Structures are given as structure tokens and as C-alpha cells.
């Protein structure tokens, strides 16, 4: 992605699918996280697109500095990002997003623009999962996080079909 320096959507999908194929024998591949900057449109509308671009770059830098070398991070579109945390558990993934959130806390952008909060939807990735289905599960959890007040993590429960929330 030219703006953030992260993978773009196509390359992200290609690398994630290739990684999963390499994990054929593992029951669990890791955790897929969809992150979305809350109220991002307000930054663009109020302060201009240049401020919005900086917000995306700051979030991307926080992701890059937090995830492990085996993890895959990309900009999925607009203000939405996808992280594949290779071989991670849900608890480890929660820790990663908490560290990203902590890295962003108190960060202000040029001109005093306050960086928006971030909502996260995540799901465990198991052997045989289809990427489109996994993305849909994580996206559904993200929408639950947004509907539940934003600035939180919602985990899609792949066994029960429901979601559990944690701030």
C-alpha cells in the first residue's frame, strides 16, 4: 500500500492463503483480526484528507512495531486493516491489539488532531477454513464492536457461532 507501507489487499490475501497452505498439518493456524479506525470520516471531513492520511500512517506504524516477524499485516481498504497473527491464540491476539492500542494512546497528529480509537473483530483460524469465511466472521465481530460502542475487541466464537466482547 503506497500510503501506509503495509501490504495492499491483493498481496495480503495472497500471502495469507499461502501461509495457510503451509500449515496444512496444524489444527489451528492463528488469529485473523480486522481493525477499523473509529469515526475516521470525521477526521477527513473536519481536518482534511492529509490529516486522515497521517492517522492511517500512524496506525500502520503501530501495527508494524507490534506484530511478530511471522505475522502478516495489510491495509484492506480505506481505514480497515487486516492482521493475521500466525500461530497465535485468541489471548495472544488480544495482547497484540492491546499493545497497538496502547501505542496509539495519547498520540496526537499535526494541528492537534486526536488520533481516533480503533475497533477490532477477530476470529480463530482453523485448518480447512476458507479465507472469505474467516474474513466474514472477523468482519461480523468488528461490526459487533462498532455497534457495542466502538474502541473494543469482539471475538467471533467459531464453535458456538456467537461473539464475546472485551474492552
Catalytically active residues are: 79
| Rounded (10°) CA dihedral 97, 103, 107, 109 | -70
DSSP 81-107: EEEEEET--HHHHHHHHHHHHHHHTT-
Cell digits for 112? 492537534
CA distance 151 to 149: 7
Q: Are 53 and 66 in contact (CB under 8 A)?
A: no
Amino acid at each position: 500500500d503506497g500510503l501506509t507501507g503495509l501490504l495492499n489487499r491483493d498481496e495480503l490475501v495472497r500471502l495469507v492463503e499461502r501461509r495457510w497452505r503451509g500449515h496444512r498439518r496444524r489444527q489451528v493456524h492463528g488469529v485473523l483480526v480486522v481493525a477499523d479506525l473509529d469515526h475516521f470520516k470525521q477526521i477527513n471531513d473536519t481536518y482534511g484528507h492529509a490529516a486522515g492520511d497521517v492517522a492511517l500512517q500512524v496506525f500502520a506504524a503501530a501495527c508494524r512495531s507490534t506484530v511478530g516477524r511471522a505475522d502478516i499485516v495489510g491495509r484492506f481498504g480505506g481505514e480497515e486493516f487486516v492482521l493475521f497473527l500466525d500461530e497465535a491464540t485468541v489471548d495472544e491476539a488480544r495482547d497484540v491489539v492491546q499493545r497497538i492500542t496502547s501505542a496509539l494512546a495519547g498520540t496526537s497528529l499535526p494541528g492537534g488532531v486526536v488520533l481516533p480509537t480503533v475497533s477490532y473483530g477477530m476470529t480463530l483460524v482453523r485448518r480447512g477454513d476458507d479465507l472469505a469465511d474467516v474474513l466474514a466472521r472477523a468482519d461480523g465481530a468488528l461490526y459487533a464492536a462498532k455497534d457495542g460502542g466502538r474502541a473494543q475487541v469482539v471475538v467471533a466464537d467459531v464453535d458456538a457461532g456467537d461473539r464475546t466482547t472485551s474492552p
